[in-house]
Amino acid sequence: MANNSYDELPYDNLTHQFSHPTNTAVIARLKGLETPDIGRCRVLEIGCAAGANLLPLAMAYPDSEFVGVDLSGRQIEDGKKIVSELQLKNTELRQANLMEIDESWGKFDYIICHGVFSWVPEEVQEGILALCRRSLSSQGVAMISYNALPGWRLNQVVRDMLLFHTKQHEGSEKRVQQARAMLEFLATNAAGQPNDAYQALIGEVSKQLGTSSDAYLAHEYLEPHNTPVYFHEFAGRADAAGMQYLGDCRFGTMLDSDLPEATIETLRGIGQMEKEQYLDFLRNRRFRMSLLCHKEVTLKQQIDPQTIRHFHISLAKRENVVKHYDAEGEKISVRLNENNLTPSRAMTYAMLEILLERWPNPIAFGELHEMALSRLNIKAEQAIDIAASTMADDLMRLYIYGVVRIEDKPVIPAAPPSDNPVAYPLARIQARMNDVYVTNVRQDTARIDAISKLIIQQLDGTMDTETLVRFVHNLLRSGKASAHVNNKPVDPKTIDERQVRTLLDTILKRLGEMALLLDHTPQTAGKPEVTKQASAG
């Protein structure tokens, strides 16, 4: 995390929802922790960059306190400007070395350390683990991500070649330029037989990096430190620091449900930690997002699906449930591993219908259960109890496969377009900054086209649709933006108001489906009382 490289080429402003307490608290509670209330907690992010991952949380939970730290002064200053514009009073971004974080910073209920551990020297890695032990509250959860073996070993080969080629070049821009040239050279000229494994490796990594940003290429492949570790090594080091492995941010990766029955049988009976290492071997895993808690906490060994009754549920992605038609009419199916599977149980079918209708917003388990019962006209008390149990079991399976998202506490609700559309304030700022990605109210990263970026900047609730039609018309006629209507490029000289209205309606509908619109302008976050003690400290 060298100061000069991140100041020279700041990292992409990305949100990582899997790292958020909305997700990590669910996994912790499934494992038996009584996690602190996300609505009243303290959160620390190590390596926060300009705050793109932290600020959506601060906006959603005004009574919690959020502290971000990064070595890059430029990124911290960029983040502070956004904090000021959003009028967030519950957020503090500090330029500091993570090794300087001591008891004076207080306790934190949730610690996020994404994209740091593998990219710092070993003594700093040990410092991160010691910080978690020292600064995490008693029932708190820490998330640390890192490049994992065996999967990253192949990427390491390419990294070594890029480092060798760029070692004589100075400056991030020049080094990235040379790295891309080297990748093209390798992809074109790498020796070997057709379908050779080495050629396949070079081709795969070159293709991946060909579409990646300069910042990703520079900081993932050209930094002085990038040390992948085996899962068992990381867990052992955490144990030595007084922490214990709790689980993975991607819950389904901890389990073997996607494997053939014979493989599952072979792995049966071994401990969870050992099993996860074997799963990494089988899947060639190259990246992990591990959750840690204090060693003194007693964790459940068996997951009870009924715990899901306490949470909120939504589809992980809208395309996870698809509509189609057959001889009997409209049907819905679950999209899983490139296959469409129609649920056989009526309760599951009804539940998925409701989640699709509610997209992109989550719904509490109890409300989802009641709506499904009403849809199926189930009234008998015993049948109701069975239906709730069935729903929890099925939701757990869908959660494991990544079809649904389960959250401890809902965030700001999204809304369809209104007469005076309002876009998520952080997304408006990011669009104005011309970021490649914007953040939506689900705390996901979304990519929008150029004309949508220009439109979303105007959506503060003060412009009605007629004003927006004139705005878009002027954009097109002036040549400041281009667009397509009915899959055909718009001629700015001949486009009429009807076509502009159709275009605007399409864009606003898409922004709504992407969870970028609200039904009101959210209140600015108030400043919680800063005690430097976490809620469960």
On whether the 3-148+228-294 domain is CATH 3.40.50.150, my answer is yes
The string of pLDDT tens digits covering residues 397-423 is 999 999 999 998 888 899 999 999 999
For range 483-489, the mean pLDDT = 78
Q: What pLDDT is recorded for position 529?
A: 45
> pLDDT exceeding 90 applies to what percent of the chain?
68
Q: What pLDDT is recorded for position 191?
A: 64
Residues, the chain: 537
For range 141-156, the mean pLDDT = 96
Residue 24 has pLDDT above 50, yes or no: yes
Q: Is beta strand 339-341 parallel, antiparallel or unpaired with respect to 438-439?
A: unpaired
Query: Distance between terminal CA atoms of the chain?
Result: 29
Q: What pLDDT is recorded for position 1?
A: 38
The answer to whether 72 and 98 have CB atoms below 8 angstroms apart is: no
Rg of the chain in Å (alpha carbons): 25
Q: What pLDDT is recorded for position 149?
A: 97
Domain ranges of the chain: 3-148+228-294, 152-221, 312-407, 422-518
For range 335-357, the mean pLDDT = 82
pLDDT-derived band at 481, boundaries 50, 70, 90: confident
pLDDT-derived band at 337, boundaries 50, 70, 90: low
pLDDT-derived band at 338, boundaries 50, 70, 90: low
The answer to whether 520 and 465 have CB atoms below 8 angstroms apart is: no
For range 454-468, the mean pLDDT = 95
Q: Sort 413 into a burial class: Cβ within 10 Å, 0-12 / 13-18 / 19+.
A: middle
DSSP states of 19-75? GSHHHHHHHHHHTT--PPPGGG-EEEEES-TTSTTTHHHHHH-TTSEEEEEES-HHH
pLDDT-derived band at 484, boundaries 50, 70, 90: confident
Measured between alpha carbons, how far is 121 from 108 in angstroms, rounded to an integer?
Answer: 24
The answer to whether 252 and 144 have CB atoms below 8 angstroms apart is: no
Q: Sort 269 into a burial class: Cβ within 10 Å, 0-12 / 13-18 / 19+.
A: exposed
Mean of the per-residue pLDDT values for the chain?
Answer: 90
For range 312-336, the mean pLDDT = 82
The answer to whether 442 and 411 have CB atoms below 8 angstroms apart is: yes
pLDDT-derived band at 533, boundaries 50, 70, 90: low
For range 365-379, the mean pLDDT = 90
Q: What pLDDT is recorded for position 46?
A: 98
> pLDDT exceeding 70 applies to what percent of the chain?
93
Q: Distances in Å between the alpha carbon of 396 and those of 61, 252, 308, 407, 446?
A: 26, 10, 7, 13, 26
Residue 194 has pLDDT above 70, yes or no: no
Measured between alpha carbons, how far is 361 from 357 in angstroms, rounded to an integer?
Answer: 9
pLDDT-derived band at 535, boundaries 50, 70, 90: low
Residue 148 has pLDDT above 90, yes or no: yes
Q: What pLDDT is recorded for position 99?
A: 94
The string of pLDDT tens digits covering residues 259-288 is 999 999 999 989 999 999 999 999 999 999
The answer to whether 420 and 461 have CB atoms below 8 angstroms apart is: yes
Rounded to two decimals, the pTM is 0.91
The answer to whether 69 and 105 have CB atoms below 8 angstroms apart is: no
Measured between alpha carbons, how far is 457 from 505 in angstroms, rounded to an integer?
Answer: 16
Q: What pLDDT is recorded for position 188?
A: 84
Which of 328, 316, 386 is closest to 352 using CA atoms? Answer: 316
